[in-house]
Structure 1
Amino acid sequence: MSTRATGLLDGRVVLVNGGTQGVGAAVARAAVREGAHVAVTGRRPEPGEALVAELTAAGGRALFVPADLADAGQAKASVARVVEAYGRVDCLVNAAGLTDRGTLLDTTPELFDRHIAVNLRAPFFAMQAAVADMVGRGASGTVVNVITSSAHGGQPFLAPYVAAKAGLVGLTRNAAHAHRFDRVRINGLNIGWTATEGEDATQRAFHGAGDDWREQAAARLPMGRLGQPDEIADFVVLLLSDRSGVVTGSVIDWDQNVLGGLD
Protein backbone atom coordinates (compact mmCIF):
# COMPACT_ATOMS: atom_id res chain seq x y z
CA MET A 1 0.00 0.00 0.00
CA SER A 2 1.17 3.50 -0.77
CA THR A 3 2.10 5.47 2.33
CA ARG A 4 2.06 8.97 0.89
CA ALA A 5 -0.16 11.38 2.83
CA THR A 6 -0.08 14.96 1.61
CA GLY A 7 -3.63 16.01 2.41
CA LEU A 8 -4.80 16.05 -1.21
CA LEU A 9 -8.39 15.45 -0.11
CA ASP A 10 -8.45 17.11 3.30
CA GLY A 11 -12.04 17.45 4.50
CA ARG A 12 -13.57 16.24 1.23
CA VAL A 13 -16.53 13.87 1.25
CA VAL A 14 -15.84 11.00 -1.14
CA LEU A 15 -18.39 8.39 -2.21
CA VAL A 16 -16.92 5.23 -3.76
CA ASN A 17 -19.52 3.09 -5.49
CA GLY A 18 -18.36 -0.51 -5.58
CA GLY A 19 -15.97 0.39 -2.79
CA THR A 20 -15.88 -2.74 -0.64
CA GLN A 21 -13.21 -4.66 -2.55
CA GLY A 22 -10.65 -4.41 -5.32
CA VAL A 23 -9.95 -1.04 -6.90
CA GLY A 24 -12.85 0.60 -5.06
CA ALA A 25 -11.57 -0.43 -1.64
CA ALA A 26 -8.07 0.73 -2.58
CA VAL A 27 -9.50 4.12 -3.55
CA ALA A 28 -11.33 4.35 -0.22
CA ARG A 29 -8.10 3.62 1.68
CA ALA A 30 -6.12 6.15 -0.36
CA ALA A 31 -8.81 8.81 0.06
CA VAL A 32 -8.86 8.39 3.86
CA ARG A 33 -5.08 8.50 3.91
CA GLU A 34 -5.28 11.83 2.06
CA GLY A 35 -7.71 13.31 4.59
CA ALA A 36 -11.14 12.54 3.11
CA HIS A 37 -14.34 11.41 4.78
CA VAL A 38 -15.37 8.30 2.86
CA ALA A 39 -18.52 6.32 2.11
CA VAL A 40 -18.47 3.02 0.24
CA THR A 41 -21.32 1.08 -1.32
CA GLY A 42 -21.70 -2.64 -1.88
CA ARG A 43 -24.23 -5.42 -1.87
CA ARG A 44 -22.69 -7.48 0.94
CA PRO A 45 -22.51 -5.98 4.44
CA GLU A 46 -19.63 -8.13 5.74
CA PRO A 47 -16.82 -6.71 3.58
CA GLY A 48 -18.35 -3.26 3.76
CA GLU A 49 -18.44 -3.16 7.52
CA ALA A 50 -14.98 -4.73 7.74
CA LEU A 51 -13.53 -2.01 5.50
CA VAL A 52 -15.24 0.72 7.52
CA ALA A 53 -13.77 -0.75 10.71
CA GLU A 54 -10.32 -0.79 9.11
CA LEU A 55 -10.58 2.82 7.93
CA THR A 56 -11.94 3.99 11.27
CA ALA A 57 -9.16 2.23 13.14
CA ALA A 58 -6.70 4.08 10.90
CA GLY A 59 -8.18 7.37 12.12
CA GLY A 60 -10.54 8.03 9.23
CA ARG A 61 -14.23 8.74 9.09
CA ALA A 62 -16.03 6.11 7.03
CA LEU A 63 -19.53 4.87 6.28
CA PHE A 64 -20.87 1.74 4.57
CA VAL A 65 -24.02 2.20 2.47
CA PRO A 66 -25.66 -1.08 1.41
CA ALA A 67 -26.74 -0.80 -2.22
CA ASP A 68 -27.40 -3.00 -5.22
CA LEU A 69 -26.26 -0.61 -7.93
CA ALA A 70 -28.08 -2.58 -10.61
CA ASP A 71 -31.15 -0.82 -9.21
CA ALA A 72 -31.05 2.79 -10.43
CA GLY A 73 -33.10 3.87 -7.43
CA GLN A 74 -30.52 2.45 -5.03
CA ALA A 75 -27.69 4.09 -6.99
CA LYS A 76 -29.36 7.48 -6.51
CA ALA A 77 -30.30 6.72 -2.91
CA SER A 78 -26.66 5.97 -2.05
CA VAL A 79 -25.84 9.60 -2.79
CA ALA A 80 -28.78 10.79 -0.71
CA ARG A 81 -27.59 8.66 2.20
CA VAL A 82 -24.12 10.21 2.05
CA VAL A 83 -25.57 13.73 1.89
CA GLU A 84 -27.70 12.88 4.92
CA ALA A 85 -24.66 11.62 6.84
CA TYR A 86 -22.01 14.15 5.80
CA GLY A 87 -24.03 17.08 4.49
CA ARG A 88 -22.72 16.90 0.92
CA VAL A 89 -20.81 14.92 -1.69
CA ASP A 90 -17.60 16.51 -2.98
CA CYS A 91 -16.21 13.60 -4.96
CA LEU A 92 -17.76 10.53 -6.59
CA VAL A 93 -15.91 7.45 -7.79
CA ASN A 94 -17.81 4.88 -9.83
CA ALA A 95 -15.73 1.72 -9.37
CA ALA A 96 -18.39 -1.00 -9.50
CA GLY A 97 -18.21 -3.37 -12.44
CA LEU A 98 -19.72 -6.58 -13.81
CA THR A 99 -17.41 -8.67 -16.02
CA ASP A 100 -19.52 -11.78 -16.70
CA ARG A 101 -18.56 -13.21 -20.07
CA GLY A 102 -20.59 -13.14 -23.27
CA THR A 103 -19.91 -12.93 -27.00
CA LEU A 104 -21.99 -11.25 -29.68
CA LEU A 105 -23.46 -14.65 -30.59
CA ASP A 106 -24.24 -16.11 -27.15
CA THR A 107 -25.13 -13.09 -24.99
CA THR A 108 -28.73 -13.24 -23.78
CA PRO A 109 -30.89 -10.14 -23.37
CA GLU A 110 -30.80 -10.79 -19.63
CA LEU A 111 -26.98 -10.77 -19.50
CA PHE A 112 -26.85 -7.67 -21.70
CA ASP A 113 -29.29 -5.87 -19.42
CA ARG A 114 -27.24 -6.76 -16.32
CA HIS A 115 -24.15 -5.25 -17.89
CA ILE A 116 -25.98 -2.09 -18.83
CA ALA A 117 -27.52 -1.85 -15.35
CA VAL A 118 -24.23 -2.13 -13.42
CA ASN A 119 -21.65 -0.74 -15.84
CA LEU A 120 -23.58 2.16 -17.36
CA ARG A 121 -26.95 2.91 -15.78
CA ALA A 122 -25.63 2.90 -12.19
CA PRO A 123 -22.85 5.44 -12.91
CA PHE A 124 -25.34 7.58 -14.85
CA PHE A 125 -27.80 7.91 -11.99
CA ALA A 126 -25.15 8.13 -9.28
CA MET A 127 -23.59 11.01 -11.21
CA GLN A 128 -27.01 12.57 -11.70
CA ALA A 129 -27.59 12.65 -7.95
CA ALA A 130 -24.05 13.69 -6.98
CA VAL A 131 -23.73 16.44 -9.57
CA ALA A 132 -27.20 17.72 -8.62
CA ASP A 133 -25.94 18.08 -5.03
CA MET A 134 -22.82 19.93 -6.19
CA VAL A 135 -24.71 22.24 -8.54
CA GLY A 136 -27.46 22.82 -5.99
CA ARG A 137 -24.89 24.05 -3.48
CA GLY A 138 -23.05 26.11 -6.08
CA ALA A 139 -19.95 24.09 -5.22
CA SER A 140 -17.22 22.59 -7.36
CA GLY A 141 -16.72 18.83 -7.33
CA THR A 142 -15.03 15.93 -9.05
CA VAL A 143 -16.07 12.58 -10.47
CA VAL A 144 -13.86 9.71 -11.62
CA ASN A 145 -15.33 6.79 -13.53
CA VAL A 146 -13.27 3.60 -13.46
CA ILE A 147 -13.74 2.17 -16.94
CA THR A 148 -11.59 -0.34 -18.88
CA SER A 149 -9.06 -0.45 -21.67
CA SER A 150 -11.42 -2.97 -23.29
CA ALA A 151 -13.76 -0.05 -24.04
CA HIS A 152 -11.60 0.52 -27.13
CA GLY A 153 -12.84 -2.78 -28.58
CA GLY A 154 -11.95 -5.52 -26.17
CA GLN A 155 -12.01 -9.28 -26.33
CA PRO A 156 -14.71 -11.24 -28.18
CA PHE A 157 -15.91 -12.80 -24.92
CA LEU A 158 -16.59 -9.36 -23.39
CA ALA A 159 -19.15 -8.08 -25.90
CA PRO A 160 -21.84 -6.80 -23.47
CA TYR A 161 -19.20 -5.50 -21.05
CA VAL A 162 -17.51 -3.55 -23.84
CA ALA A 163 -20.84 -2.16 -25.04
CA ALA A 164 -21.70 -0.84 -21.58
CA LYS A 165 -18.22 0.48 -20.72
CA ALA A 166 -17.85 2.19 -24.10
CA GLY A 167 -21.11 3.92 -23.28
CA LEU A 168 -19.56 5.07 -19.99
CA VAL A 169 -16.66 6.62 -21.93
CA GLY A 170 -19.13 8.70 -23.92
CA LEU A 171 -21.14 9.56 -20.82
CA THR A 172 -18.00 10.74 -19.02
CA ARG A 173 -17.18 13.20 -21.78
CA ASN A 174 -20.77 14.33 -22.22
CA ALA A 175 -21.27 15.03 -18.52
CA ALA A 176 -17.90 16.78 -18.27
CA HIS A 177 -18.83 19.07 -21.14
CA ALA A 178 -22.29 19.75 -19.73
CA HIS A 179 -21.02 20.76 -16.28
CA ARG A 180 -17.68 22.41 -16.99
CA PHE A 181 -19.07 25.86 -16.17
CA ASP A 182 -20.43 24.46 -12.91
CA ARG A 183 -16.78 23.72 -12.03
CA VAL A 184 -17.59 20.02 -11.79
CA ARG A 185 -14.72 18.04 -13.29
CA ILE A 186 -15.50 14.55 -14.60
CA ASN A 187 -12.80 12.17 -15.84
CA GLY A 188 -12.31 8.47 -16.46
CA LEU A 189 -9.62 5.80 -16.29
CA ASN A 190 -9.45 2.99 -18.81
CA ILE A 191 -7.66 0.50 -16.58
CA GLY A 192 -5.83 -2.54 -17.86
CA TRP A 193 -5.47 -6.02 -16.41
CA THR A 194 -5.42 -5.63 -12.62
CA ALA A 195 -4.85 -8.08 -9.78
CA THR A 196 -8.06 -7.90 -7.72
CA GLU A 197 -10.23 -10.34 -5.79
CA GLY A 198 -12.89 -10.02 -8.47
CA GLU A 199 -10.44 -10.78 -11.28
CA ASP A 200 -9.23 -13.85 -9.42
CA ALA A 201 -12.81 -15.12 -9.13
CA THR A 202 -13.47 -14.32 -12.81
CA GLN A 203 -10.35 -16.13 -14.03
CA ARG A 204 -11.26 -19.21 -12.03
CA ALA A 205 -14.96 -19.20 -12.93
CA PHE A 206 -14.73 -18.43 -16.65
CA HIS A 207 -11.24 -19.49 -17.73
CA GLY A 208 -10.41 -22.48 -15.52
CA ALA A 209 -7.42 -20.66 -14.05
CA GLY A 210 -5.30 -22.26 -11.37
CA ASP A 211 -3.47 -20.76 -8.42
CA ASP A 212 -0.61 -19.60 -10.65
CA TRP A 213 -2.69 -17.61 -13.14
CA ARG A 214 -1.23 -14.29 -11.94
CA GLU A 215 2.34 -15.47 -12.59
CA GLN A 216 1.38 -16.80 -16.02
CA ALA A 217 -0.39 -13.56 -16.90
CA ALA A 218 2.49 -11.42 -15.66
CA ALA A 219 4.94 -13.29 -17.87
CA ARG A 220 2.99 -12.17 -20.95
CA LEU A 221 2.79 -8.49 -19.99
CA PRO A 222 5.31 -5.79 -20.99
CA MET A 223 6.11 -4.71 -17.42
CA GLY A 224 6.19 -8.30 -16.15
CA ARG A 225 3.31 -7.85 -13.73
CA LEU A 226 -0.36 -7.02 -13.48
CA GLY A 227 -1.53 -3.58 -12.42
CA GLN A 228 -2.17 -3.13 -8.71
CA PRO A 229 -5.28 -1.57 -7.13
CA ASP A 230 -3.17 0.74 -4.93
CA GLU A 231 -1.47 2.20 -8.00
CA ILE A 232 -4.82 2.94 -9.62
CA ALA A 233 -6.10 4.40 -6.35
CA ASP A 234 -3.25 6.92 -6.24
CA PHE A 235 -4.13 8.02 -9.77
CA VAL A 236 -7.83 8.32 -8.89
CA VAL A 237 -7.02 10.45 -5.84
CA LEU A 238 -4.91 12.73 -8.02
CA LEU A 239 -7.82 13.22 -10.42
CA LEU A 240 -10.21 13.87 -7.53
CA SER A 241 -7.89 16.48 -6.06
CA ASP A 242 -7.00 20.04 -7.01
CA ARG A 243 -3.57 18.78 -8.05
CA SER A 244 -5.07 17.68 -11.37
CA GLY A 245 -5.85 21.30 -12.14
CA VAL A 246 -8.54 22.07 -14.71
CA VAL A 247 -8.53 18.64 -16.36
CA THR A 248 -12.02 17.45 -17.27
CA GLY A 249 -13.52 15.20 -19.92
CA SER A 250 -10.34 13.13 -20.12
CA VAL A 251 -10.49 9.34 -20.35
CA ILE A 252 -6.96 8.20 -19.62
CA ASP A 253 -5.57 4.81 -20.63
CA TRP A 254 -4.05 3.42 -17.42
CA ASP A 255 -2.44 0.42 -19.04
CA GLN A 256 0.87 -1.07 -20.17
CA ASN A 257 -0.29 -1.87 -23.68
CA VAL A 258 -0.33 1.01 -26.18
CA LEU A 259 -3.46 1.51 -28.22
CA GLY A 260 -2.63 1.46 -31.93
CA GLY A 261 0.89 0.11 -31.43
CA LEU A 262 1.84 -2.79 -33.71
CA ASP A 263 4.75 -5.23 -33.59
Structure 2
Amino acid sequence: MNGSAGRNSETRAIVTGGAQGIGFAVAEALADEGCRALALIGRSQEKGDKAVAALKKSGVDAIFISADVAKVADCKRAVDTAIAHFGTVNALVNAAATSARGSLVETSEELFDTIFATNVRGPFFLMQGLVAHLLARKAPGSIVNVLSMSAHAGQSFLTPYSTSKGALMTLTKNVANAYRTNRIRCNAVLPGWMDTEGEDIVQKKWHGAADDWLEKAEAGQPMGQLVKPAQLARLISYMVSPQAGVMTGSLVDYDQNVAGAGAE
Protein backbone atom coordinates (compact mmCIF):
# COMPACT_ATOMS: atom_id res chain seq x y z
CA MET A 1 0.00 0.00 0.00
CA ASN A 2 1.25 3.49 -0.83
CA GLY A 3 2.50 5.05 2.40
CA SER A 4 1.24 8.45 1.29
CA ALA A 5 -2.30 7.29 0.52
CA GLY A 6 -4.82 9.17 2.61
CA ARG A 7 -2.25 10.92 4.78
CA ASN A 8 -3.86 14.31 4.06
CA SER A 9 -7.47 13.15 4.37
CA GLU A 10 -8.00 15.50 7.31
CA THR A 11 -6.15 18.41 5.72
CA ARG A 12 -8.11 21.54 4.79
CA ALA A 13 -5.60 23.80 3.14
CA ILE A 14 -4.93 27.23 1.74
CA VAL A 15 -2.27 27.26 -0.99
CA THR A 16 -0.95 30.58 -2.29
CA GLY A 17 0.26 30.71 -5.87
CA GLY A 18 -2.05 27.74 -6.16
CA ALA A 19 -3.10 28.13 -9.78
CA GLN A 20 0.29 27.30 -11.31
CA GLY A 21 3.83 26.09 -10.70
CA ILE A 22 4.77 24.88 -7.22
CA GLY A 23 1.44 25.90 -5.73
CA PHE A 24 -0.69 23.88 -8.13
CA ALA A 25 1.68 20.89 -7.90
CA VAL A 26 1.22 20.98 -4.12
CA ALA A 27 -2.56 21.18 -4.52
CA GLU A 28 -2.49 18.14 -6.82
CA ALA A 29 -0.32 16.19 -4.37
CA LEU A 30 -2.57 17.06 -1.44
CA ALA A 31 -5.64 16.01 -3.43
CA ASP A 32 -3.98 12.73 -4.40
CA GLU A 33 -3.32 12.09 -0.71
CA GLY A 34 -6.94 12.55 0.33
CA CYS A 35 -7.31 16.29 0.90
CA ARG A 36 -10.85 17.28 -0.06
CA ALA A 37 -10.83 20.98 0.90
CA LEU A 38 -8.48 23.28 -0.99
CA ALA A 39 -8.50 27.06 -1.30
CA LEU A 40 -6.17 28.30 -4.01
CA ILE A 41 -5.01 31.91 -3.86
CA GLY A 42 -3.70 33.74 -6.90
CA ARG A 43 -4.09 36.82 -9.06
CA SER A 44 -5.29 35.28 -12.34
CA GLN A 45 -8.96 34.33 -12.29
CA GLU A 46 -8.54 32.47 -15.59
CA LYS A 47 -5.72 30.27 -14.27
CA GLY A 48 -7.58 29.83 -11.00
CA ASP A 49 -10.72 28.61 -12.71
CA LYS A 50 -8.74 26.03 -14.70
CA ALA A 51 -6.94 24.81 -11.57
CA VAL A 52 -10.17 24.48 -9.61
CA ALA A 53 -11.87 22.62 -12.46
CA ALA A 54 -8.99 20.12 -12.59
CA LEU A 55 -9.15 19.50 -8.83
CA LYS A 56 -12.92 19.13 -8.80
CA LYS A 57 -12.58 16.22 -11.24
CA SER A 58 -10.80 14.42 -8.39
CA GLY A 59 -13.70 15.04 -6.03
CA VAL A 60 -12.08 17.96 -4.22
CA ASP A 61 -14.10 20.87 -2.86
CA ALA A 62 -11.76 23.44 -4.40
CA ILE A 63 -12.23 27.19 -4.54
CA PHE A 64 -10.16 29.97 -6.07
CA ILE A 65 -9.74 33.24 -4.21
CA SER A 66 -8.49 36.09 -6.35
CA ALA A 67 -6.05 37.99 -4.17
CA ASP A 68 -2.68 39.74 -4.20
CA VAL A 69 -0.63 38.51 -1.25
CA ALA A 70 1.34 41.77 -1.35
CA LYS A 71 -1.78 43.44 0.08
CA VAL A 72 -2.54 42.78 3.75
CA ALA A 73 -6.27 43.32 3.27
CA ASP A 74 -6.28 40.65 0.53
CA CYS A 75 -4.45 38.21 2.81
CA LYS A 76 -6.97 38.68 5.60
CA ARG A 77 -9.89 38.41 3.18
CA ALA A 78 -8.48 35.22 1.68
CA VAL A 79 -8.15 33.47 5.03
CA ASP A 80 -11.62 34.62 6.12
CA THR A 81 -13.13 33.45 2.81
CA ALA A 82 -11.55 30.01 3.08
CA ILE A 83 -12.70 29.58 6.69
CA ALA A 84 -16.21 30.75 5.81
CA HIS A 85 -16.41 28.25 2.94
CA PHE A 86 -14.94 25.19 4.65
CA GLY A 87 -15.93 25.94 8.24
CA THR A 88 -12.36 25.39 9.36
CA VAL A 89 -8.88 25.36 7.84
CA ASN A 90 -5.81 23.66 9.33
CA ALA A 91 -3.02 24.05 6.79
CA LEU A 92 -1.27 26.75 4.79
CA VAL A 93 1.35 26.53 2.05
CA ASN A 94 2.96 29.84 1.16
CA ALA A 95 4.18 29.21 -2.40
CA ALA A 96 3.45 32.60 -3.98
CA ALA A 97 6.52 34.78 -4.51
CA THR A 98 8.22 37.22 -6.81
CA SER A 99 11.79 36.62 -7.93
CA ALA A 100 12.26 40.03 -9.53
CA ARG A 101 15.90 40.84 -10.17
CA GLY A 102 17.94 43.54 -8.47
CA SER A 103 21.47 43.97 -7.15
CA LEU A 104 22.34 46.03 -4.09
CA VAL A 105 23.18 49.15 -6.09
CA GLU A 106 20.46 48.76 -8.71
CA THR A 107 17.43 48.03 -6.50
CA SER A 108 14.95 50.88 -6.18
CA GLU A 109 12.92 51.54 -3.06
CA GLU A 110 9.79 50.56 -4.98
CA LEU A 111 11.25 47.21 -6.09
CA PHE A 112 12.51 46.45 -2.58
CA ASP A 113 9.09 47.16 -1.10
CA THR A 114 7.30 45.08 -3.74
CA ILE A 115 9.53 42.05 -3.13
CA PHE A 116 9.23 42.23 0.65
CA ALA A 117 5.48 42.84 0.53
CA THR A 118 4.99 39.70 -1.58
CA ASN A 119 7.63 37.40 -0.09
CA VAL A 120 7.55 38.35 3.60
CA ARG A 121 4.61 40.53 4.60
CA GLY A 122 2.08 38.40 2.71
CA PRO A 123 3.13 35.11 4.32
CA PHE A 124 3.31 36.86 7.72
CA PHE A 125 -0.31 37.99 7.66
CA LEU A 126 -1.58 34.77 6.08
CA MET A 127 0.10 32.84 8.90
CA GLN A 128 -1.33 35.30 11.40
CA GLY A 129 -4.84 34.60 10.12
CA LEU A 130 -4.48 30.83 10.18
CA VAL A 131 -2.76 30.66 13.56
CA ALA A 132 -5.35 32.94 15.18
CA HIS A 133 -8.07 30.64 13.81
CA LEU A 134 -6.33 27.52 15.12
CA LEU A 135 -5.69 29.04 18.55
CA ALA A 136 -9.35 30.04 18.85
CA ARG A 137 -10.37 26.46 18.09
CA LYS A 138 -7.53 24.93 20.16
CA ALA A 139 -6.78 22.86 17.06
CA PRO A 140 -3.50 21.61 15.59
CA GLY A 141 -2.30 22.79 12.20
CA SER A 142 0.60 22.94 9.80
CA ILE A 143 2.35 25.60 7.73
CA VAL A 144 4.96 25.13 5.03
CA ASN A 145 6.77 28.12 3.56
CA VAL A 146 8.50 27.84 0.19
CA LEU A 147 11.84 29.63 0.43
CA SER A 148 14.83 29.23 -1.89
CA MET A 149 18.45 28.10 -1.73
CA SER A 150 19.10 31.80 -2.37
CA ALA A 151 18.24 32.37 1.30
CA HIS A 152 21.75 31.09 2.11
CA ALA A 153 23.32 33.98 0.16
CA GLY A 154 22.02 34.30 -3.41
CA GLN A 155 23.48 35.67 -6.59
CA SER A 156 24.49 39.31 -6.96
CA PHE A 157 21.41 40.07 -9.08
CA LEU A 158 19.06 38.61 -6.45
CA THR A 159 19.95 40.77 -3.45
CA PRO A 160 16.46 41.86 -2.30
CA TYR A 161 14.92 38.50 -3.27
CA SER A 162 17.52 36.51 -1.35
CA THR A 163 17.17 38.82 1.63
CA SER A 164 13.39 38.41 1.63
CA LYS A 165 13.75 34.63 1.68
CA GLY A 166 16.21 34.96 4.56
CA ALA A 167 13.60 36.96 6.45
CA LEU A 168 10.97 34.29 5.77
CA MET A 169 13.46 31.68 7.00
CA THR A 170 13.71 33.44 10.38
CA LEU A 171 9.94 33.93 10.48
CA THR A 172 9.48 30.18 9.93
CA LYS A 173 11.70 29.35 12.91
CA ASN A 174 10.08 32.00 15.10
CA VAL A 175 6.53 30.81 14.41
CA ALA A 176 7.54 27.18 14.88
CA ASN A 177 8.97 27.95 18.30
CA ALA A 178 6.12 30.22 19.38
CA TYR A 179 3.28 27.76 18.72
CA ARG A 180 4.81 24.31 19.22
CA THR A 181 2.92 23.76 22.48
CA ASN A 182 -0.27 24.53 20.55
CA ARG A 183 0.60 21.70 18.12
CA ILE A 184 0.91 24.19 15.25
CA ARG A 185 3.89 23.21 13.14
CA CYS A 186 5.80 25.52 10.79
CA ASN A 187 8.47 24.31 8.38
CA ALA A 188 10.09 25.42 5.14
CA VAL A 189 11.62 24.02 1.98
CA LEU A 190 14.48 25.68 0.12
CA PRO A 191 14.40 24.56 -3.52
CA GLY A 192 17.21 25.19 -5.93
CA TRP A 193 16.82 26.20 -9.58
CA MET A 194 13.35 25.12 -10.69
CA ASP A 195 11.60 24.27 -13.95
CA THR A 196 8.38 26.30 -13.73
CA GLU A 197 6.28 28.51 -15.98
CA GLY A 198 7.42 31.47 -13.93
CA GLU A 199 11.09 30.60 -14.38
CA ASP A 200 10.62 30.43 -18.15
CA ILE A 201 9.24 33.98 -18.07
CA VAL A 202 12.07 35.17 -15.81
CA GLN A 203 14.79 33.66 -17.98
CA LYS A 204 13.42 35.29 -21.13
CA LYS A 205 12.57 38.64 -19.51
CA TRP A 206 15.68 39.20 -17.39
CA HIS A 207 18.35 37.09 -19.05
CA GLY A 208 17.46 37.14 -22.75
CA ALA A 209 17.24 33.34 -22.78
CA ALA A 210 16.40 31.44 -25.95
CA ASP A 211 13.60 28.88 -26.18
CA ASP A 212 16.08 26.05 -25.50
CA TRP A 213 17.36 27.54 -22.21
CA LEU A 214 15.90 24.71 -20.13
CA GLU A 215 17.62 21.97 -22.13
CA LYS A 216 20.96 23.77 -21.82
CA ALA A 217 20.46 24.55 -18.13
CA GLU A 218 19.61 20.95 -17.29
CA ALA A 219 22.62 19.63 -19.21
CA GLY A 220 24.85 21.64 -16.90
CA GLN A 221 23.35 20.37 -13.63
CA PRO A 222 24.94 17.54 -11.59
CA MET A 223 21.83 15.35 -11.86
CA GLY A 224 20.87 16.48 -15.36
CA GLN A 225 17.66 18.27 -14.43
CA LEU A 226 16.25 21.30 -12.68
CA VAL A 227 13.97 20.79 -9.67
CA LYS A 228 10.52 19.69 -10.84
CA PRO A 229 7.43 21.03 -9.03
CA ALA A 230 5.82 17.57 -8.80
CA GLN A 231 8.89 16.23 -7.01
CA LEU A 232 9.05 19.06 -4.50
CA ALA A 233 5.29 18.91 -3.96
CA ARG A 234 5.46 15.44 -2.43
CA LEU A 235 7.93 16.65 0.19
CA ILE A 236 5.69 19.61 1.01
CA SER A 237 2.56 17.44 1.20
CA TYR A 238 4.39 15.15 3.65
CA MET A 239 5.47 18.11 5.80
CA VAL A 240 1.88 19.39 5.82
CA SER A 241 0.46 16.03 6.86
CA PRO A 242 0.08 14.55 10.36
CA GLN A 243 2.52 11.87 9.18
CA ALA A 244 5.30 14.44 9.73
CA GLY A 245 4.72 14.02 13.45
CA VAL A 246 6.58 16.57 15.59
CA MET A 247 8.60 18.03 12.72
CA THR A 248 8.68 21.80 13.18
CA GLY A 249 11.14 24.62 12.62
CA SER A 250 12.87 22.58 9.91
CA LEU A 251 14.49 24.20 6.89
CA VAL A 252 14.95 21.55 4.21
CA ASP A 253 17.37 22.26 1.36
CA TYR A 254 15.94 20.70 -1.81
CA ASP A 255 18.72 20.86 -4.34
CA GLN A 256 21.49 18.93 -6.08
CA ASN A 257 24.07 21.54 -5.12
CA VAL A 258 25.13 21.58 -1.47
CA ALA A 259 25.27 24.93 0.31
CA GLY A 260 28.76 25.68 1.57
CA ALA A 261 30.53 23.20 -0.67
CA GLY A 262 33.37 24.59 -2.74
CA ALA A 263 33.94 23.92 -6.42
CA GLU A 264 35.53 20.51 -7.13
Structure 1 residues 123-162: aligned runs within 5 Å: 123-162=123-162
SS of the residue aligned with 1:198? Answer: helix
In the other structure, the counterpart of 1:212 is 212
Partner of 2:22: 23
Q: Which residue of 1 aligns with 2:254?
A: 254
Q: Which moved more, 1:62-71 or 1:5-14?
A: 5-14
How far apart, in 1, do the equivalents of 2:34 and 2:243 lie? Answer: 14
Structure-2 separation of matches of 1:185 and 1:115: 26
Which 5+ residue runs of structure 2 have no aligned equivalent? none
TM-score (norm 1): 0.97
What is aligned with 1:170? 170
Give TM-score, length-normalised by structure 2.
Answer: 0.97
Contact kept in structure 1, 2:176 and 2:249, CA below 8 Å: yes
Amino acid paired to 2:29: A
SS at match of 1:47: helix
Matches within 5 A, 1:84-103: 84-103=84-103
CA distance in 1 between counterparts of 2:255 and 2:75 reads 28
For residues 221 and 4 of structure 1, what CA distance do their matches in structure 2 show? 30
CA drift of 1:58 comes to 2.1
CA distance in 1, matches of 2:50, 2:93: 20
Per-residue deviation at 1:84?
0.2
Check whether the contact 1:32–1:61 (CA below 8 A) recurs between aligned residues: no
Q: CA deviation at 1:205?
A: 0.3
Q: SS of the residue aligned with 1:210?
A: coil
How many equivalent residue pairs?
261
Using the TM superposition, name which of 118-127 and 33-42 deviates more.
33-42
In 1, the alpha carbon distance for the partners of 2:188 and 2:10 equals: 23
The answer to whether the 8 Å contact 1:192/1:227 transfers is: yes
- Residues in 1 aligned to 2:47 and 2:193: alpha-carbon distance in whole angstroms: 23
Tell me the equivalent position of 1:81.
81
User: In the alignment, is the contact (CA less than 8 A) between 2:187 and 2:249 conserved in 1?
Assistant: yes
State the superposition RMSD in angstroms.
1.1
Check conservation: 2:11, 2:241, Cα contact below 8 A. Answer: no
Q: Quick one: percent identity of the two aligned structures?
A: 44
Q: CA deviation at 1:68?
A: 0.8
Distance 1:242 1:255 in 2: 25
Alignment check: 8 A CA contact 1:148 1:191 kept: yes
Consecutive unaligned residues in structure 1, runs of 5 or more: none
Deviation at 1:5, TM superposition (A): 5.7
1:12 is matched with 11
Structure 2 distance, partners of 1:196, 1:81, is 28
Which residue identity is paired with 1:194?
Answer: M
Question: Deviation digits for residues 117-171 of structure 1, max 9, x if unmatched?
Answer: 0000000000000011111100000000000000000000001101111000000
| Cα displacement (A) at 1:206 | 0.3
Partner SS state of residue 188, structure 1: strand
For residue 47 of structure 1, report the CA deviation from its aligned partner: 0.3
Q: Mapping of 1:203-242 within 5 angstroms?
A: 203-242=203-242
Shift of 1:215: 0.9
Cα distance in 2, alignment partners of residues 82 and 142 from structure 1: 16
Amino acid at match of 1:14: A
Distance in 2, matches of 1:6 and 1:91, equals 18
Q: Which residue of 2 aligns with 1:58?
A: 58
Query: Partner of 2:134: helix, strand, or coil?
Result: helix
Q: 1: distance between equivalents of 2:76 and 2:190?
A: 24
Which 4+ stretches in 1 moved above 3 angstroms? none
Structure 1 position 60, deviation (Å): 1.6
